[in-house]
């Protein structure tokens, strides 16, 4: 597919506008763990500008809210073209 000048593919627009979304935890009476793995995480090394590759593991025990998975995937993809150390990425996601 040829990319036309000035046209942003829908996926890139979704990533650019990504915000974490949540939904009500319908099983608050039970304590359980939610796990998310992103085996193809990429960001840019702020020193060299080259891509950094990693696997991100997120585990949490939901209380009142759960993180909506699609919004989390889009949020993770926002780091693709960002110059940031992997060690900092972990803390940005945690915050």
List residues with catalytic annotation.
45, 52
**Separation between Cα atoms, residue 25 and residue 66, nearest integer Å:** 6
List of residues 6+ apart from 85 with CB closer than 8 A: 45, 46, 52
**Separation between Cα atoms, residue 44 and residue 48, nearest integer Å:** 8
């Amino acid at each position: 597919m040829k990319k036309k000048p000035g046209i942003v593919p829908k996926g890139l627009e979704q990533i650019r506008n990504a915000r974490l979304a949540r939904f009500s935890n319908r099983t608050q009476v039970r304590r359980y763990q939610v796990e998310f793995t992103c085996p193809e995480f990429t960001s840019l090394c702020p020193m060299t500008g080259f891509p950094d590759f990693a696997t991100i593991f997120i585990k949490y025990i939901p209380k009142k809210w759960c993180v909506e998975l699609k919004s989390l995937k889009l949020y993770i993809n926002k780091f693709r073209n960002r110059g940031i150390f992997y060690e900092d990425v972990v803390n940005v996601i945690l915050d």
